[in-house]
Amino acid sequence: MIEVKNLQKTYEVKRRKSFFNSYKEKVEAVKDISLRIEAGQIVGLLGINGAGKTTTIKMLTTLIEPTSGEYYFDGKDALKNPVEIKKQINMIAGGERMIYWRLTAYENLWYYGQLYGIENTELKQRIDRLLKLVGLEDKANLPVETFSKGMKQRLQIARGMINNPKYIFLDEPTIGLDAIVTQELHEEIRSLAKNQEKGILLTSHYLSEVEELCDYIYLVNNGQLVMEGTKRDLTDFVFTKKQYAFSVKGMNESICSSLRSQLMILDAGAQVQLEGKSAVITSKVELSSFLAEFAIREGLIIEELHKLEPSLEQAVIKLSKSIEKEAKGIA
């Protein structure tokens, strides 16, 4: 398990008052972040603009040292053993960084395997296995410059697995890819966690991707952790009121009016709005049983009754606006 506690990073930045006059200012890129990544788990790291997400990843991958805080890797102090930690982690980035276009797929993997000091016989077997895993075994000897974006991204996954890491950091892994290729890569990412017990940290601007893949999510803003939990935890925290779509045969404003009147007993602040042939009901209380009983009492035939689940994207947008208002001192 990867565990970090109260991670903090401060940079000293040179500022200028004038052409001849400058001064140094301390900037806190990361103020206080604690998180955990367990084997077989996909963890999302989301950041509102200027969050400190990139700096956090650089510390977790031992590219930079934190100013303060604790970092444990499978129970060992990672800050005292950065070289050993590097052997057991890898990063898979979106786009076309970290692969060489003029080399073949096989040559790219051979190059990175040599950097990790993998013995030649073992490396050959590993490359063959990885190319098969990502569906590129028949493209092994083709130059990467002939590959599509999706093929390049599959090669990125193979490259990120060449050292058989325990933990993988995925940075925008599907950026610029079409929907079909994205879904294929999602399946491969799930397989890495489920079938190979890899611990994965995912960062992505595509909130639907985080919602689909991640078991647990951390949301950071201005270098601080502002919320953590499952997708349900986050949406329940942000949306304290529940919404229902409710429709009966012959739905009209008269039925909605009757529904409002009876609902007042349970929740005086509940709202009922007719949208087409359905009523959208917003309430702080659970209404599934009440709505079913209402239909029976009124002799109505239910055509639709379900709770409307807010998306992670809706929750993050609402929370971001709330944080922005708070920062500006708006009530």
Please answer whether residues 240 and 303 qualify as being in contact, where contact means their C-beta atoms are separated by less than 8 angstroms: no
Mean pLDDT calculated for residue range 192-197:
94
Sheet with strand 68-73: strands edge to edge:
76-77, 68-73, 2-16, 22-37, 224-229, 216-221, 42-47, 199-203, 167-171, 89-93
Predicted confidence at residue 50, as pLDDT, reads 64
CA dihedral 262, 268, 269, 271 (to 10 degrees): 10
Convert the pLDDT of each residue in 54-80 to its tens digit: 899 999 999 999 999 999 999 999 999
The Cα-based distances of 75 to 70, 72, 80, 195 in angstroms read: 11, 5, 12, 23
Mean pLDDT calculated for residue range 136-158:
94
Predicted confidence at residue 328, as pLDDT, reads 74
Predicted confidence at residue 24, as pLDDT, reads 83
SS3 159: helix
What does 44-107 look like in DSSP terms, one character per residue?
Answer: EEEE-TT-SHHHHHHHHTTSS--SEEEEEETTEETTT-HHHHHTTEEEEESTTTTS-TTSBHHH
Convert the pLDDT of each residue in 225-247 to its tens digit: 999 999 999 999 999 999 999 99
**Residue showing tokens 């489920």:** 194
Convert the pLDDT of each residue in 290-324 to its tens digit: 999 999 999 999 999 999 999 999 999 998 888 87
166, 159, 164: which is closest to 99 by C-alpha? 159
Residue 162 predicted with pLDDT over 80 = yes
308, 303, 307: which is closest to 247 by C-alpha? 303
- Across the strands, what pairs with 33? 7
Predicted confidence at residue 320, as pLDDT, reads 85
Predicted confidence at residue 190, as pLDDT, reads 95
All structural domains of the chain? 2-236 (3.40.50.300), 240-308 (3.30.70.980)
Residue 330 predicted with pLDDT over 60 = no
Give the global pTM: 0.84
Convert the pLDDT of each residue in 106-145 to its tens digit: 999 999 999 999 999 999 999 999 999 899 999 999 999 9
Mean pLDDT calculated for residue range 284-290:
94
| Distance separating alpha carbons of residues 161 and 330, to the nearest angstrom | 48
**Residue showing tokens 């979106």:** 94
- The mean predicted confidence, pLDDT, of the chain is 92
| Distance separating alpha carbons of residues 152 and 96, to the nearest angstrom | 7
